[in-house]
Structure 1
Amino acid sequence: MPHTPDPVQTLRDHITAWQRGETTRDDLIRVLLRVPPEDGQVVHDVIHDLCGGDVLPGTTHGTTADDWRAELMASRARTWRVPEVAGLLVGPEVLVLTDGRTGAVLRESGTQCLPASVCASMMLLCETIVMAHTALDQEELLKLQRQRVDATSTSLSEIDRIP
């Protein structure tokens, strides 16, 4: 019987490989984005794995509130809703994984666990970015549908009817 790889360990291995310089940040992001929406438990378990064991020290010296604000304002987000809630923020310099109670800031130089007081805010930010993006996508879709209907109406009105 073939061995099925553990998805939690696979993600953990990709994170470690990136931090050791064996893969790129973009490759790690692609791996994270391939986790299906219904596999929130996998991301949840990775977060707890990262923050439950020996964590590599993250370099935070030189990081100001303005730096963090700029990082978060430039972030893209992804969420998983089932069976556990989890979120990913992809900033210019860092990746943040959170489930609202536990969180990890991933840098090429290491992993830093977030204080519990920050994790709920990070999860809320993930959800807000995703909701805003979804609303914009829906608005754009409705706009395109209206344009198509208008274009079709105009085209049909220009066709001469047969008397």
Structure 2
Amino acid sequence: MRRIGTWAAAIVLGAGALAACGGDDGSGSDDASGGGGGDSSYCDKLSGFRDTLQNTSDASSFTKFKDAAEELADEAPDEVSGDWEKIQDAFGQLEDKLEEAGLSIEDLDDPTALQSADPEAMATLQEELTKIGEDLDGAGEKISDHAESECDIDLDGSDDSASPSPSS
């Protein structure tokens, strides 16, 4: 139940982790009817967000993900609005931290830009972004749990071929 947080953290942590979160076949439930009594507008947007989440593979997906998260934060019920705000805050922090290191979001797709960055700045960046990523994992899990229980939407896109985590 951590796909949102994992993907957001992957954006925050850099290019290498981005590809690892893509590649789902989208075999999760397509029910966006708001089946657990959730706000139907929010649930409908979550369904579209799931598609965005499953089609992320590079730093150019950042803008789509960020825009979708912003829209969902505006629609989110109280139970998860703070978690969406954490994700939004993390994106702002990501942009700030990259700028401090002399990089941009687009540079996450450019191995040359990453290799030419100051190693000390990159080490500091990695430390700071790891802290941000830890917060995102919990927020993503709460959002995913809420999506499943209130909207009957599986944001994780998990299926039998995924490695289930016995700890929940």
Task: Give the TM bin, normalised by the shorter chain.
Answer: under 0.3
Normalized per residue, the structure richer in strand is: 1
So what's the TM-score if we normalise by structure 2?
0.25
Structure showing greater relative contact order (alpha-carbon pairs closer than 8 Å, 6 or more residues apart): 2
Higher-helix-fraction structure? 2
Please identify the structure whose Cα radius of gyration is greater.
Answer: 1
Q: Normalised by the size of structure 1, how large is the TM-score?
A: 0.26
